[in-house]
Amino acid sequence: MFLELDLKSSIPVYIQLRNEIVRGIGSGELAFGEQLPTVRSLAADLSVNSMTVSKAYQLLDSQGYIHTDRRRGTVVCARGEMPDFLENPDSKRELVLLAREAALGGYTREEFLKLCSDAYIELV
């Protein structure tokens, strides 16, 4: 299982799980249309409460990354159905904040864009 959680982190587990799954889709570890484990089995695998997994799935569903298929359970959405998360104003604010922290930290624009590019290039 490629999903890594840090139970000591201040970030809620269900958010970490949501993020890990988005990363997994982005990196190809989870294919478009692929079936996800059931809530119970994933909860058992990760040793977390099944409500936590359920909340992560609900969040991903509401954001449009996954959906529930009556016959096949929970599946990753198709490539073309992926949401445009950066249209979310909160994401924009987050990006601006990171950029300003970078600038204050002494990064030139080129250095910052290099970091951004590296972050992107890790995707398939």
Task: Report 69-98 residues binding a copy of itself (CB under 8 A).
Answer: 69-71, 82-87, 91-98
With binding defined as CB under 7 A, does residue 65 bind DNA?
no
Contacts (Cβ under 8 Å, ≥6 apart) of 52: 13, 14, 17, 43
**Per-residue x/- mask for DNA, residues 87 to 106, rule CB under 7 A?**
--------------------
Nearest approach, Cβ of residue 74 and a copy of itself (Å) = 11
Output 40 or 81, the one with its CB closest to a copy of itself: 81
The answer to whether 102 and 114 have CB atoms below 8 angstroms apart is no
Tokens of 14: 């269900």
- DSSP reduced 3-state for 23: helix
